[in-house]
Amino acid sequence: LPQKDGNGKLGLVEFNILWNRIRNYLSIFRKFDLDKSGSISAYELRLALEAAGYRLNKKLHELLITRYAEPDLALDFDSFVCCLVRLETMF
């Protein structure tokens, strides 16, 4: 994430980077929340992650669903952000 200098605070530049990422995540989330339910399905998640630049194999996609989805296999926006942050740190 944008916090680079290790001081435990977000400066204006760091906040701006974070804010832009969250706005981008929200735009992607809204685009792929096809039924406008406020959550995305496992299928919609695959499409959303690809739009965010992540082409994942089936096993990794299933692991993300297991970790971040609710029992009905849907992810709300908070879970979607956590998933993308994790992917960013991995890649």
Per the DSSP assignment, residues forming a β-bridge with 40 are: 75
Class of the 12-90 domain? mainly alpha
> What tens-digit pLDDT sequence spans the chain (91 residues)?
555 666 778 889 989 998 999 999 999 999 999 889 999 999 999 999 999 999 999 999 999 999 999 999 999 999 999 999 999 988 8
Question: How much is the pLDDT for 60?
Answer: 94
Question: How much is the pLDDT for 7?
Answer: 73
Q: What pTM does this model have?
A: 0.83
DSSP 20-55: HHHHHHHHHHHHH-TT-SSEE-HHHHHHHHHHTT--
Question: How much is the pLDDT for 4?
Answer: 60
Under a CB-based contact definition with an 8 Å cutoff, are residues 33 and 44 in contact?
A: yes
Per the DSSP assignment, residues forming a β-bridge with 39 are: 76
User: Which residue type, as a one-letter code, is found at position 11?
Assistant: G
